[in-house]
Structure 1
Amino acid sequence: MSTLRRTALLAAVLLLAQAQIADAHIVSARLGDFYAGALHPLLTMQDVVVWIALGLLAGSLGAAGGRWLVMVFPLGLCAGLAFAVGSGVTPASPLVDAVTILVLGLLLAAALRIPVTLLSAIALLLGVIRGAANAGELGPQSDRLLYAAGLAAAGYVTITLVMALALTFRRPETEPVSSWRGIAVRAVGGWVAAIGLMMAGLSLAP
């Protein structure tokens, strides 16, 4: 065996002797709570449907009006999370989630020009409800600040992206509601309302 091979073999043996157990799970790191707060709502149907519907409603108002939801909704998520952690009360329930989705779908399908103030209040209320619902994933060792930051970041990014896509597709400033683009958005609202109706039926079933 050549000197080079003996040296390489000795180096490999030394490296293997010093190897330790690898920990590749992000949940054990401090930033794991941030990712948990950001990913959990994106894996829950109630959150995904509500957030997408809110983003579409924001886009239907136009860029100037929709920007308020981008700021208000993440604040509502943090407020709801803090309320649930402090009080131990979670206001969300399957029926409340179903009714929320049904109402948002009907608003989209009706293509109503909702005042910015009213829609911002609705977004704040929904943020509080969904933020409180996501508090159930907090464990005793969870960093609540990181979890809240991840939840707010996910809400901000989701609403912003969906609103931007809706604005690009819908073009509310230049095209009427009766255009094919407006009809397509209203059809999505009908599907959202149908999801809410089915969820309501399942929640009321014995």
Structure 2
Amino acid sequence: MRRPGHWSWVAAGWLLPAGAAQAHLVSSGLGPFYDGALHLLLSPGALLGLLALALLAGLRGPRAGRLAVIALPTAWLLGGLVGLGLAPVPDLTWLGVAAFLVLGLLLAADAKLPPIAIAALACAYGGLHGLLDGMALTAIGAGTSPLLGIVLAVLVIALLGAAAVVPLRVLWARIAVRVAGSWVAAVGLLMLGWLARGTG
């Protein structure tokens, strides 16, 4: 007896009914808090910039790492609370993409920024994405629980990212981190090109 071929599985996939699409908040079935955390993990624009900033802070040493880990979730939460009180604005996806493109370039260049500058970048990036998330949550009628899930995910990712890089002293390992920054920047350029083509 012959087993079903590759095309049989493709055809079966096309025949299956599709579920409802969620534009801004993925429903995990675990509640709004976990839906918020999952939203961050499935938002490449916000996630890539967050990773780039955490890695950059780790390259700059323990003090910069600690400041970034404190500033990022705090600014994200404050920006989100402000965003929850605002009416949705036109799509600002390009601004988020430009932000993580800049962070990718800084990481790739191993920019020698002082810890206070890293903290300022963390506040700006966290505040921007918190504001965007808050307005998106307002648009779908969600409350603060998803925002708290997003902020906790930001804290965990920033903490793990910075902590993984701070102890690196070997040159090749630090270069590998910088290569990751170049990939983040490349993805940012690609996404900006797509956005420009879509609006052109």
Q: Is 1:194 the counterpart of 2:172 in the alignment?
A: no
2:19 match: none
Percent identity between the two aligned chains: 34
Contact 2:28–2:38 (CA under 8 A) maintained in structure 1: no
What is the aligned length? 170
- What is the RMSD computed on CA atoms of the aligned residues? 2.1
Runs (4 or more) in structure 1 with deviation over 4 Å come to 89-92
1:192 CA drift (Å): 0.9
Contact 1:94–1:200 (CA under 8 A) maintained in structure 2: no
1:69 CA drift (Å): 0.7
Pick one of 193, 196, 199 that aligns with 1:204. Answer: 196
1:78 CA drift (Å): 0.8
1:114 CA drift (Å): 0.6
Structure showing greater radius of gyration is 1
Structure 1 unaligned regions, length at least 5: 1-24
2:163 match: 164
Q: Distance in 1 between matches of 2:78 and 2:91?
A: 14
Q: Is 1:185 the counterpart of 2:184 in the alignment?
A: no
Q: Distance in 2 between matches of 1:89 and 1:126?
A: 19
Superposed CA deviations along residues 153-204 of structure 1, whole A, max 9, x for unmatched, are: 1110010011122224x33xxx5xxx22222122111111111111111111
Q: Distance in 1 between matches of 2:117 and 2:128?
A: 17
1:113 match: 112
> Residues 26, 48 of structure 1: CA spacing in aligned structure 2 closer, same or farther, 3 A cutoff?
closer
2:147 match: 148
Superposed CA deviations along residues 119-174 of structure 1, whole A, max 9, x for unmatched, are: 1111111111111222213543x341x22321211110010011122224x33xxx
Q: What is the TM-score of this pair, normalised by structure 2?
A: 0.77
Q: What is the TM-score of this pair, normalised by structure 1?
A: 0.75
Q: Distance in 1 between matches of 2:37 and 2:157?
A: 10
1:89 CA drift (Å): 4.6
Q: Distance in 2 between matches of 1:50 and 1:68?
A: 16
Contact 2:84–2:137 (CA under 8 A) maintained in structure 1: no
1:90 CA drift (Å): 5.0
